[in-house]
Amino acid sequence: MSSPYVFKIADQPWEIEAIHRLNHRTFAEEIPQHDAREDGTLVDKFHDENIYAVCLAGDELAGMVALRVQRPFSLDAKIPDLDSHLPPGRRWCEIRLLAVEKKHRGTAVTVGLLKTVTKEGVSRGCDAVVISAATLQLKLYKHMGFVPFGPLVGREGAYYQPMSLSMEQLMAEAPIILQDSLATVPQVEKPVNFLPGPVAIPPQVRDAFQSAPQSHRGHDCIEAVGSLRWQLGHMAGIHYAQIMLGSGTLANEAVGAQILRLDAPGMVISFGEFGERLADQARRLWLPHEHLCLPWGHVPDVNKIAKILDRHPEVRWIWTTHCETSSGAMMDLDALAFLCHDRDIRLAVDAMSTFGVIHCDLSSVWMASAASGKGLAAYPGLAIVFHSDPIDPAPEKLPRYLDLGLYASGDGIPFTQSSNLIFALKISIESTDWWRKYERVRSLHDYIRPQLAALGATFLVPAEKCNPAVLTLPMKPGVNSVGVASQLESAGFLVSARSSYLSDRNWIQICLMGDLTEREAAALLTELERINPWAQT
């Protein structure tokens, strides 16, 4: 099948007009290198001396790049004594203004433009090239062999790194590397799941879930539950773990029921949607408590919490979230646990979005809740409750299903249990190298975050204070978060935006809790770069 693209040196008036419009869309609207103009065109200051290689898709301009073979280059005005930074004895040219229409990104357009402009440069006697590389693409340019020199040039939101390369190396290697990049990055099995739940699930876990169901009174199921209770407790560094058939909300209800047994006043600390849900559960259980309601995205200051507790010496328990899933903000659990221990306060935490995502040491808490989905990368449907002390049944105080003592005092299966969910979770626990997973989550976060920032994205929570698996991204005014999520979904990438606590605030979330790879992250970034909802307008 013939290529849909034609590569050539621009020589038609309509091509030149289209170049000015694409130049404006790219370097004034998308990248704020120049001020936007009402007529939607941007004529380069070196236009009369530029040689433009273009890619045509029918009668449309799909992409362009400019070549300059005479001095002064644009870099001469940005870097004094440019030649002192360059190897001597070369005949230099400058390649600039590489721009590809969004719908043609991730295709062969960039490769074809590079081949065309390189061939033109050689035909004009050049044997080395300088460029100004967008900081978002530095890794790729370095991989092609480009050598950085001098300081960054440009302005806020549009910084570039000057780089150089011999023309023979550019002709020999760069198109191959670019073509390899185009071939490997977008080719992932879709849809790719960046949701906070349900998460991407490994094949062996799916296989275990699809096995024939077994009786929850059978030996295999009882043995699996017993093994899981020990494994989960060992992972958390806490003595006891109980497994209930239900969602994470059920786990928190069971924790609230144990708080009710304390018959003492306490405090709920919220800093987002899921902390406020804990406060709602506390109200519904008629727990006597103060509600410390902090702003969404706020990272709690334990020193300030201590001063508040000074004014409330009656507080005997605290219930809060370890990570506020709505924003990614993290409570300093060690500091809060130390504060509670020092004041003889029982600490209960919702660890739904941290357990199985980061090393989650729960040894210093009284009770904690988690679930089989999210970081544990199994199917949702199992509620997990950790507790540091033995629990006896409370038949005079609690409904049967919420009475953790009934789970703790027997084989862990007082009521009907799903063998499919149990075996899937067991396989996930046993087949995962958890320390490697924690490192992978951090690595993916550190890979994705700076590239999102280079696109213009802002983050609700600073990197050092957020859960690395939760990136909450506000949209700019006029850009609808659900619309962005729908665009990504159409391209095969699932991100979170439709929950009311996100859509009401015009936020999207990229979550890294499941079985994800850097290639899948790179494919998402490629698509985000194509649609770029944070681009200047």
pLDDT at 522 over 90: no
Listed in sequence order, the residues at least 6 apart from 201 whose beta carbon sits closer than 8 Å to its beta carbon are 377, 378, 379, 428, 514, 515
Give the pLDDT mean for 97-125. 85
- Owning domain of residue 250: 203-431
Burial class of residue 254 (count of CB atoms within 10 Å of its CB; 0-12, 13-18, 19+):
buried
- The stretches of 393-517 forming alpha helices (DSSP H) are 404-408, 419-431, 434-455, 481-490, 500-503
As a whole number of angstroms, the distance between CA 505 and CA 492 comes to 24
CATH, residue 325: 3.40.640.10
What integer best gives the mean pLDDT of the chain? 90
Determine if the peptide bond prior to 191 is cis (ω within 30°): yes
Residue 454 maps to a domain:
yes
Are 214 and 253 in the same domain?
yes
- Buried b / exposed e across 207-245, counting CB within 10 Å, b at 16+? ebbeeeebebeeeebbebbeebbeebbebbebebbbbbb
- Tell me how far apart the alpha carbons of residues 378 and 483 are, in angstroms, rounded to a whole number: 29
Instruction: Mention every residue, 6+ apart, whose C-beta is less than 8 A from residue 303.
Output: none
Nearest CA among 265, 348, 268 for reference residue 314: 265
190 domain-assigned: no
pLDDT value, residue 175: 57
Percent of the chain with pLDDT over 90: 68
Q: With respect to residue 358, please indicate whether it lies within any of the assigned structural domains.
A: yes
Strand arrangement, sheet containing 346-350 = 240-245, 382-387, 367-371, 346-350, 317-321, 266-270, 289-293
Helix axes 302-311, 333-342, angle to 10 degrees: 30
Number of domains comprising the chain? 3
pTM: 0.68
CB 221 within 8 A of CB 215: yes
User: Per-residue pLDDT averaged across 125-143, rounded?
Assistant: 82
**Residue at 193 is within a domain:** no
Do 167 and 310 fall into the same domain?
Answer: no
Residue for token digits 């018959």? 263
Rounded CA gap, 521 and 533, in Å? Answer: 17
Q: How far is CA 154 from CA 75, 117, 146, in A?
A: 10, 23, 19
Say what the pLDDT of residue 537 is.
55
Domain-ending residue, one of 152, 184, 216: 184
Distance CA 509, CA 515 (A): 17
Are 321 and 363 in the same domain? yes
Query: pLDDT-derived band of residue 270, with 50, 70 and 90 as boundaries?
Result: very high
> What is the model's pLDDT at position 312?
96
Does any domain span residue 192? no
Rounded Cα gap, residues 503 and 515, in angstroms: 26
Q: Specify the 3-state DSSP secondary structure of 361.
A: coil
- 172 vs 495, more confident: 495
Q: What confidence tier does 154 reach under pLDDT thresholds 50, 70, 90?
A: confident
**What pLDDT score was predicted for residue 1?**
36
Given pLDDT bands bounded at 50, 70 and 90, which one contains residue 187?
low
Span 429-455, pLDDT tens digits: 999 999 999 999 999 999 899 989 988
Q: How confident is the model at residue 158 (pLDDT cuts 50, 70, 90)?
A: low
pLDDT at 185: 43
Which is it for the CA torsion 494, 507, 139, 89, positive or negative?
positive
- Same domain membership, residue 320 and residue 400: yes
Q: Are residues 173 and 231 in the same domain?
A: no
pLDDT at 518: 84
Rounded Cα–Cα distance for residues 241 and 232 (Å): 6
pLDDT above 90 (res 426): yes
SS3 string of 119-184?
HHHHHCCCCEEEEEEEHHHHHHHHHHCCEECCCCEEECCEEEEEEEEEHHHHHHHHHHHHHHHHHH
Work out the percent of the chain whose per-residue pLDDT is above 70. Answer: 95
> For residue 302, is it within any domain?
yes
**Does one domain contain both 244 and 301?**
yes
Could you give the 3-state DSSP secondary structure of residue 269? strand
User: Which CATH number goes with the domain that contains 23?
Assistant: 3.40.630.30
Q: pLDDT digits over 112-131, tens only?
A: 888 888 888 888 998 899 99
pLDDT tens digits for 359-394? 999 999 999 999 999 999 999 999 999 999 999 999
Q: Give the residue from 372, 402, 431 where a domain finishes.
A: 431
Residue 197 forms part of a structural domain: no
pLDDT at 2 over 50: no
* CATH code for position 454: 3.90.1150.10
User: Which domain-ending residue is among 410, 431, 452?
Assistant: 431
Same domain, 489 and 507: yes
Q: What is the pLDDT of residue 398?
A: 96
Residues 360 and 492 in one domain: no
Nearest Cα neighbor of 512 from 396, 407, 356 is 356
CA dihedral (313, 317, 323, 327) positive or negative: negative
Instruction: Tell me: do 48 and 138 sit in the same domain.
Output: yes
The DSSP letter of residue 45 is T
Same domain, 444 and 312: no
Of 448, 483, 493, the residue nearest 466 (C-alpha): 448
Report phi then psi at 478, rounded to 5.
95, -10
Do 417 and 448 fall into the same domain? no
223 lies in the same domain as 315: yes
64 within some domain: yes
* pLDDT of 275 above 70: yes
Mean per-residue pLDDT for 458-474? 95
How remote is the C-alpha of 231 from its chain's centroid? 28
